[in-house]
Amino acid sequence: MTSKVYDLNEQTGKDMAQARATTSIKVGVVRDYLYNSAEEWRARSSIVQVLENDPVFDKSQRDFMSRTERYTRGMALTNRIYELQEQNNWSAQDTSIAIATLDEQLPIHLHNVAFQPVFNLQGAPSLVEKYGALIASHGIFGCYLQTELGHGTNVGRLETTATYIPQTQEFEINSPTITSSKWWIGALGKTATHGVVQAKLILGGKDLGPHLFFVQLRSLKDHTPLPGIVIGDIGPKSGAGFGPTDNGFARFDHVRIPKEQMLSKFAQVTDDGRYQQPPHAKLSYGGMLYIRANMVTGGGWLMAKAATVAIRYGTVRRQGEIGPDGLEKQIISYPSTYYRLLPILSHSYVFIQLGRQLTKAFDTMAACLAKGDTSLLAEMHATTSGLKVLVSSTGVQDIEVARRSMGGHGYSAFAGLGRMYNDYLPSVTYEGDNFVLDQQVVRAALKTLHSLFSSPKPDPSTLTPSSFYLRLLIPPVSMPVFSPSIEEWTHPTTAIVLLEWRAALVVSDLAKNIKYPDASVYQRVSKAVSEAFVAKQVGGMIDDLKTKLPGEREQTAVRNIFILYLLTTVETGLVDLLSFNVVRSTSGGDVTRTLRVAIRRLCEEILPEAIGLTDAFGFTDWELDSALGVRDGKVYEALWNRAQQEPLNKTVVPEAYGGSIRPMLLRG
Amino acid sequence: MTSKVYDLNEQTGKDMAQARATTSIKVGVVRDYLYNSAEEWRARSSIVQVLENDPVFDKSQRDFMSRTERYTRGMALTNRIYELQEQNNWSAQDTSIAIATLDEQLPIHLHNVAFQPVFNLQGAPSLVEKYGALIASHGIFGCYLQTELGHGTNVGRLETTATYIPQTQEFEINSPTITSSKWWIGALGKTATHGVVQAKLILGGKDLGPHLFFVQLRSLKDHTPLPGIVIGDIGPKSGAGFGPTDNGFARFDHVRIPKEQMLSKFAQVTDDGRYQQPPHAKLSYGGMLYIRANMVTGGGWLMAKAATVAIRYGTVRRQGEIGPDGLEKQIISYPSTYYRLLPILSHSYVFIQLGRQLTKAFDTMAACLAKGDTSLLAEMHATTSGLKVLVSSTGVQDIEVARRSMGGHGYSAFAGLGRMYNDYLPSVTYEGDNFVLDQQVVRAALKTLHSLFSSPKPDPSTLTPSSFYLRLLIPPVSMPVFSPSIEEWTHPTTAIVLLEWRAALVVSDLAKNIKYPDASVYQRVSKAVSEAFVAKQVGGMIDDLKTKLPGEREQTAVRNIFILYLLTTVETGLVDLLSFNVVRSTSGGDVTRTLRVAIRRLCEEILPEAIGLTDAFGFTDWELDSALGVRDGKVYEALWNRAQQEPLNKTVVPEAYGGSIRPMLLRG
Ligand SMILES: Cc1cc2nc3c(=O)[nH]c(=O)nc-3n(C[C@H](O)[C@H](O)[C@H](O)COP(=O)(O)OP(=O)(O)OC[C@H]3O[C@@H](n4cnc5c(N)ncnc54)[C@H](O)[C@@H]3O)c2cc1C
Ligand SMILES: Cc1cc2nc3c(=O)[nH]c(=O)nc-3n(C[C@H](O)[C@H](O)[C@H](O)COP(=O)(O)OP(=O)(O)OC[C@H]3O[C@@H](n4cnc5c(N)ncnc54)[C@H](O)[C@@H]3O)c2cc1C
């Protein structure tokens, strides 16, 4: 093999063009599939264009900004979005697309996603009538104050009180201790004018547990905190994440609000201070499930970005061994690289589709809830809890895997994945800490198991999609022995059935050992249960390809991606499958090898389509904001150009020279 | 169970005091063991005291600083350290302890750890004589310029050239392309006056591959770059990591240096331009191995910090279920929490000890190298490559596991673990990308396997510690079937032998399948090989406890920690052990349960000592710089106090109000 000398910089552009030329799929067709329709894609695309061309949304300086600058910029973006909404007559949907494409953790999210839905869902009709429009038009800016310095997960133990004063028909909000300070509240620190406060309702000295209250926090005249309220920002976050969001604290010193400001659609207090039970305590859960359902879609698109950046860089970065073309190999061609990156691509395809299904299911449920029908709530709760854990922990990991695959340059802020990682990182904690949610997923599974077998003749038709795998345990149980060939692994059913068996076995094993389970069991079982559910859904997605995705090559490519999802999921579940003897060597060899070879072959089949499959996400350079993910592949130019803007480069000799460097050199 | 109301804030202090009172071990005894001797601990402690009391080293503002401020502060710290060195008559060893305790990625590291050793090891005696003293006293400030924009791993393809000009007896350093720009070079951006440059040596038009050259970069008069050299900082890094380090770029435009400045201890160029081969090419490897050996110790102490912070927070944070004392449980008492945290503690104990052994082994090897004896080099190379991968990837993961265990507050910058994570993150990339090193570890293992079995009568005495596990493959092979009871797992040999079997089997399996290995095999095999080596060493550490650690309770506690290391390592290797049928159910039940229950029991035994075992690291609050890891346990006060300093809190109404918030509210 001759090893050619070549212009690395020029080659990047050629390699990207070449990869695009080799893709056999029609990118637009797959894109429309991902966006659900050509119309949705076009709508989104036209919004992105408006933003890209507006200097307010320029991203070139943000990596250099201080936290305060990031916050100030964030508020400017937000203000501009609503200006544009007016100017362009955007629908609410358009505006939320616009905000989502900004790729910033903004205070406005808390208003739109937490404050407003909770207010509308739980406020009494009269209160909603009074403030609903003002909230919708951002005439007031809200936040959601639940967590306290001393309590997050255990909402029942919040310390803030709301004591009813029958004499004046008011509630008095009070923070008796430092640990009762509201803490972590997004948009509270500097922005919000109002908030929904979780506080223990105290009636005649009796503690009735946490309830919600609508409280004004700042003056609408001059934005100063109202009397009796101490507010501030809680400080910077890990890795400069959530920079533009003013997560804040607040303490209330006997602050009075009118009785009407209790959110009393479900629970009420009479004028003379008697408590009226909510008809359906669960009716109030809707909001949280909505956020979790949305997290699946959001996570999917984030993984899509990470995959796009890393696969593009892997296509143009050449390093190491000399390939057949006499040039160094493209790093994506190394098994240890594509094995890291293609699964991320598969996660994004799966979670984007799954998110869409979930949002639909949520809408159906919400319609039922509105009619007082709570029958779909339990299932929605079970699926969204498990998926929230799965998506957030997979997403955080995937972004880092993608970043790391890019070697040193991946550690540059200009690569963009570090920013994405640090912003996404707390998703494993908020909306229910993942380790706490694991327990809920497992408890739901055990409950279903018990109720299924509490009947002498267990009836599989009582099982919902989230617990469908439990049917396998109904006698007569015929636990299979799997020892699939490489070819058999490529049939989706192999993996799906295995993942269902795995879930069934770990759940029933836990039930047996419930008196002294091992210490990691909740994590393991929760994962198995969620993955069985997702696998089944992926089976459905594969079946649907024929009708939803025109074009044979396109179907094959996306099918391969889905199968890669299934096989790599089985791979991470191998311990369970092996320890329960489901996957078992019949010949004495290493039974896991056929699976692993099947994965490698599948990856090799997918590789030539990888750029096409990422182009199908339709991200612009502005959206990705990554020097390593540029569409034209010219990563070296992009890195070079960005580096020139570094503030330290504004002076030839740094400020530190006179004060520190020179004295040190002189002493030496 | 009654559920008491209590003052959360006060309780934190009580809980910490209580945990200290319950620890049965003498903290000082274990501390001396960790620091190798009471003297080493005292020496270190007195240095820390000097620094803590010097306002220059105040850390209270750094979380709020911009990158430029972090750099400026970093240089001030450095200058001050050398002032103190003079004032206090510190030895070089004292000074490096002082620098290490600063917990900052500083440009001076590159001078001390990369530039100076390479210069001294590879410079000709005359050159070392000329500059050695100046370098030692920091009269010049150096950096190490190897990596380029276009090449990192593949050093052979670096593009920078050093062309010999016989007429003037000079080398001409040149960067022909944008991708030949030196890039990522620590201390280059703004600080260094000199550097060692890797460049392809060109003699009479012939390319002789990369060699090292000592090059002045900036004027010693006014710190401006010398003519023909374009230098700058490459910009911010992921998650604000490496903030104080000015990783930089440089392009050379036909820059001439005198011939003497080639580092020519090993390879030389004659005056008339002929090349003289180095006697032992490998003699020059020493420096890199030194850094890697040090990374083991450094990683161990970092994990120690992460464990200390998270275990302290877990001890004082109460959340959720009501425990026997009528208070909410301490979160460390939840299995899903201690199962995450105690293994980190075990990693730190193991890697601190291992690092010490390795540094000793390195010194022995260096002494041999100095005599031209390279016999120990291959083994040192094999162990340090594998351990570098193991320590850095474990460390990065552990810091995040610790951070995540603390829920929302773990995401505050004040928790300190985010900073630690983002600074440590690139350790998986520099000093050899982990995925590339995996291949080297595996290649070394395969080579040893082949040479062992190339003889008709394989001789186990040819095996070194890093390949000792291969003895198991020498016929007659008696592959055991393991199905250990909970009790059997507590004997260290069970785990050690299993981990050795795992390594032996995956290596020999790869040898069989070398024509088409699966895509993740290098990672898996490398891990198995390194873990077998470490397990064996841990066995030795356990045996040594009797002589090295006085006190029975102390021995038991540390022994438990070491066994926890072994068991959790086996747990992560279960797939291999199961798929090769080494661990196998003889009764039909889940064979992994005994291991997992053994881990849980062991954790429960360790828990009461956890605070003692972390106190034994001897970290002061200044060193940890974590609001959640404060020694007195008063985490809520610490968080509250730090938040008050956030720059956004300096004004009541933020700057963004007039520009963005008000207009938005008014429009709404
Ligand atoms: C970026 C960010 C934004 C946020 N925004 C808001 C906001 O706008 N409004 C708001 O009200 N809150 C907000 N929060 C707070 C968030 O809701 C909480 O962080 C979350 O509920 C977790 O609670 P915690 O942080 O108190 O963790 P904790 O509950 O203290 O958990 C700490 C640890 O203990 C474990 N643990 C706790 N309970 C149990 C149990 N019962 N069993 C086993 N293990 C347990 C957890 O797994 C975790 O490892 C935000 C948080 C973050 C990080
Ligand atoms: C914080 C930091 C500080 C640094 N400081 C210095 C310094 O002071 N001086 C200096 O000279 N350098 C420095 N470096 C550069 C560092 O040495 C390189 O980043 C490192 O050598 C890896 O090279 P790379 O970044 O070019 O990655 P690449 O080699 O481009 O690797 C990118 C990807 O390709 C894969 N890959 C590459 N080759 C192969 C192969 N043959 N087989 C399979 N996979 C392969 C890798 O696994 C990785 O996933 C620093 C880097 C960082 C991040």
Residues in chain A: 668
Dist. CA B423 → ligand 1 center (Å): 25
Distances (CA, A) of B256 to B155, B250, B271, B458: 22, 15, 16, 56
Residues B285-436: name the CATH superfamily.
Butyryl-CoA Dehydrogenase, subunit A, domain 3 (1.20.140.10)
Average pLDDT over residues B571-596: 87
Q: Please tell me the predicted confidence (pLDDT) of residue A280.
A: 66
**Sheet with B248-252, edge to edge strand ranges:** B182-185, B248-252, B229-233
B101 three-class SS: helix
Angle between helical axes of B592-606 and B552-572 (0-180°, round to 10): 150
Nearest CB to B599 within list A519, A578, A579: A519
B206 three-class SS: strand
Q: Which residues of B touch A626 (CB under 8 A)?
A: none
Return the number of other C-beta atoms located less than 10 Å from residue A512's C-beta: 11
Q: Please check the confidence at residue B1 and state whether its pLDDT lies above 50.
A: no
CB contact under 8 A, A239 and B418: yes
Ligand located closest to B332 CA: 1
List CB contacts of B445: < 8 A, sequence separation 6 or more.
B467, B470, B503, B507, B525, B529
For chain A, how many helices (H) and strands (E)? 24, 13
Which of A147, A292, A295, A422 gets mutated to test ligand 1 (max ligand atoms within 8 A of its CB)? A147
Q: Chain A closest CA to B28's CA: distance in Å?
A: 31
Residues in contact with ligand 2 (CB, 6 Å cut-off) = A 317, 319-321, 331, 334, 336-337, 405-409, 411; B 110, 114, 144-147, 152-153, 184-186, 242, 247, 426, 429-430, 433, 435-436
Residues in chain B: 668
Average pLDDT over residues B28-42: 97
**Token digits of residue A21:** 């030329």
Could you tell me if B10 and B318 are in contact, meaning their C-beta atoms sit under 8 angstroms apart?
no
Q: Please tell me the predicted confidence (pLDDT) of residue B157.
A: 96
Its CATH class, for the domain covering A1-34+284-633, is mainly alpha
CATH architecture of A141-283: Beta Barrel (2.40)
Could you tell me if B496 and B543 are in contact, meaning their C-beta atoms sit under 8 angstroms apart?
no
Q: Chain A closest CA to B415's CA: distance in Å?
A: 8
Q: Which atom of ligand 2 is nearest to the CA of B146?
A: 11
Please tell me the distance from the alpha carbon of residue B175 to that of residue B179, in angstroms, as a whole number: 8
According to DSSP, residue A650 is labeled G
Q: Which residues of A touch B407 (CB under 8 A)?
A: 152-153, 429, 433
Identify the burial level of B201 via C-beta atoms within 10 angstroms of its C-beta, where 0-12 means exposed, 13-18 middle and 19 or more buried: buried
Identify the burial level of B339 via C-beta atoms within 10 angstroms of its C-beta, where 0-12 means exposed, 13-18 middle and 19 or more buried: buried
Token pair 């854990």: residue: A389
Tens of pLDDT, residues B53-86: 999 999 999 999 999 999 999 999 999 999 999 9
Dist. CA A392 → ligand 1 center (Å): 14
For chain A, residues with pLDDT lower than 70 are 1-2, 279-285, 586-588
Could you tell me if A221 and A264 are in contact, meaning their C-beta atoms sit under 8 angstroms apart?
no
Tens of pLDDT, residues B250-303: 999 999 999 999 999 989 999 999 999 876 666 666 777 888 889 999 999 999
- Strand B194-203 versus strand B206-216 pairing type: antiparallel
CATH architecture of B141-281: Beta Barrel (2.40)
Q: Which of A392-401, A605-614, B341-350, B373-382 bottoms out in mean pLDDT, i.e. has the lowest? A: B373-382
Please tell me the distance from the alpha carbon of residue A100 to that of residue A181, in angstroms, as a whole number: 31
- Strand A142-145 versus strand A194-203 pairing type: parallel
Please tell me the distance from the alpha carbon of residue A513 to that of residue A509, in angstroms, as a whole number: 6
**Token digits of residue A398:** 């995937």
Identify the burial level of A455 via C-beta atoms within 10 angstroms of its C-beta, where 0-12 means exposed, 13-18 middle and 19 or more buried: exposed
Nearest CB to A223 within list B149, B241, B657: B657
Nearest CB to B193 within list A407, A408, A665: A665
Amino acid symbol at B573:
G
List CB contacts of A409: < 8 A, sequence separation 6 or more.
A313, A317, A415, A628, A635, A639
Could you tell me if A80 and A98 are in contact, meaning their C-beta atoms sit under 8 angstroms apart?
no
Please tell me the distance from the alpha carbon of residue A506 to that of residue A529, in angstroms, as a whole number: 9
Distances (CA, A) of B33 to B294, B395, B613: 19, 22, 11
Please tell me the distance from the alpha carbon of residue B192 to that of residue B106, in angstroms, as a whole number: 12
Could you tell me if B332 and B338 are in contact, meaning their C-beta atoms sit under 8 angstroms apart?
yes
Amino acid symbol at A585:
S
Where are the domains positioned within chain B?
141-281, 285-436, 643-668
**Token digits of residue A20:** 């695009």
Q: Please tell me the predicted confidence (pLDDT) of residue B369.
A: 83
Which of A313, A327, A328, A337 gets mutated to test ligand 2 (max ligand atoms within 8 A of its CB)? A337
Return the number of other C-beta atoms located less than 10 Å from residue B650's C-beta: 9
Please tell me the distance from the alpha carbon of residue B535 to that of residue A182, in angstroms, as a whole number: 47
Token pair 């544009």: residue: A84
Shortest CA distance to A22 belongs to which of A330, A318, A262? Answer: A330
Neighbour-count burial for B428-438, b at 16+ CB within 10 Å, e otherwise: bbbbbbbbbbb
